[in-house]
Structure 1
Amino acid sequence: MRGSVLLLASAALLGSSGALAQEEDLTQLPAPSDDYRPALTSWGEPDFRGGWPIDHLNGRTPLQRAAEYGDRQLLTEAEYAERAEMVEQLEQRYQNEDSSGTMGIGHWAEVSPANRRTSWITAPADGQLPAYTEEGARRSEAMNSTWAAGQVFEWVDDFDSWDRCITRGLPASMFPFMYNNGMRIFQAPGLVALQMEMVHEVRMIPTDGSAHLPRQIGQWLGDSRGTWEDHNTLRVETTNFRPGPSATNIGTTGSPRENDTPVSAEAHMVERFHMVGENEIIYEFTWTDPVIFTAPWSARLEWQRDDDYGMYEYACHEGNVQIRNYITTSRADAAAAAGGQ
């Protein structure tokens, strides 16, 4: 599923010669080009249909930027070489398992070629999530997840929505993870559907000018409405998020504790899908949640077309026993600890 397209994408980020131009500004990413004009559907809308998996972005680029990079959006050539070597070592796990006749994390956790991005977050300038508000910090501390050690599980609502195979939520679902990174776009007159491999959710995005649902109707992925900007850009505005202490789990490399990013009913997301070539979409969004964060934040990812990417059954917890097993084990641990006292 990776193939030559991914190698070409990595080469493009490096530059055709593999060396950085001396005048390159590492604090800026090039603005999406308006030069490309995609084909139109039979009903006259830009045709974005196809497979757009983001598995090629799973090359150890973190959500948040390490402090050592400051305001730089891009790695230097030497830093890129260091990351590429680390990724190559991780990729070797697959071959090591094959040669030893075993199957483990090397087959389960996919790793793709490195790229030069220092973080997926583009704003604030330091590449960090804004500070929580007082209420945001309180809700974050109240979250529970199997991704964090030392959690106690007494009932089903002690798990986050991803644990329960309900949703990974937004904006989390738009970031790469170590597996199940498939994305596919379908279109019909007045509608764009974005199918996601993780949890097999489908975002339904009307483009017919219809109004948002009443604000009291909250949904896990919010209520999205799309409009076409210029000739190559889909703008999507999403509101009506369902609040709760277990609403989202970003989970990608460099996430804060990987399980503690809540969402409120006041959250608002604006996305832009810029098709800048037949096989490339520059995806950008800004997330605003004044209940949780003290400021908005933005991210950008470069998508590559891969119509041959296959999406298979999403077996989240086979037999529907894992939630029960966690609760049973947690209660047994508590009983053992009480008996030891």
Structure 2
Amino acid sequence: MDSGDVQSLRQNLKKIREITEAKRNICLETLSTLENYEDLAKSRARRQHVKQVLSVDFIEPPSEICPASVSLEYSHLYEDYACFALRLQNTSKDLKLVPQCSVLPSSPLVRMLVSNKCDSVAEIVDFVRPISTCQIHVAFPKELFYSSEKLVIVIDCFPLATTSAGVPADLLAFALSRTLADVVSTPFSRCVQVDFPTTSSSLRDFEYADERQAVKLMSCVRVCSSRQTLSKPIPLKDFRRFFPQFVGCDYETWQVYLGTERYSGLLAVVDIKSHSLQNFLSINKSQLISFAASISEVQNREEAAQSRIEPEEKLGIQVADANDSFDIDFY
């Protein structure tokens, strides 16, 4: 083999390597997600290399930078639900993100709520503000793990302009409507693989939990339970007087009352500022409705009793006792 043949082989080998690298770049572009501008620069370089070597171009433009990261905080079993807390960080300066959750293999029984802090008294929110972090609480029936040891939680993020008035009721239709000014970016997804939780708890654990444990338990209760809100709050002192079957659990900055006996399974949330209760939680929705009716009955009975005031008291007249003098005082 002369030197010309060797040179030809080297050129062919170089060409094969370039073609192989170009095909590899096609795979990378198909599967990659961009999290920062460094990734975007790499994406553009790969596309340029594919065009030079294979003389082909991508139909779709480079993926937009994905301004979010998701990580698993903790997992827990509560009743018949597997609960997971995920931390979602929005790194965008001008987009707010609306998260939606699903589980693979597909399940329609996924429950989700988003809180603006990582504690139990955090406000429930509809979206994640720019340059901020939230906690996503996800729950689904633990039976899903019977068919698979590992499941994948998918967080779909819908980017909205910060100037948008609110969150659309139909996010899918909203995302597909390219004429709306609020649609500033294509929705993107983040995935987290999860195992079957190794710890479990029930409502009774509130009595013995420290605040850190109670925070996790409260998160599970909130995402798994139905909530009943009274039309009118009941003062804490009245609640304790009429429903002594509830046990108080105090964690300094927040407080709950745990139902026992016939009210077992109910959790009452105290409004610390007003010293009243208006929100009640339970997995059993019919129990919630029945209990709310009981409270309304008590409130109506109390109002009726207050309305039956003696005429003298309405006039500000203080009537002396039969054994006292008959002087009458006006005040």
Q: Tell me the TM-score normalized by structure 2.
A: 0.24
* Greater relative contact order, per chain length (Cα 8 Å cut-off, separation 6+): 1
The structure carrying a bigger strand percent of its residues is: 2
The structure carrying a bigger helix percent of its residues is: 2
Q: Tell me the TM-score normalized by structure 1.
A: 0.23
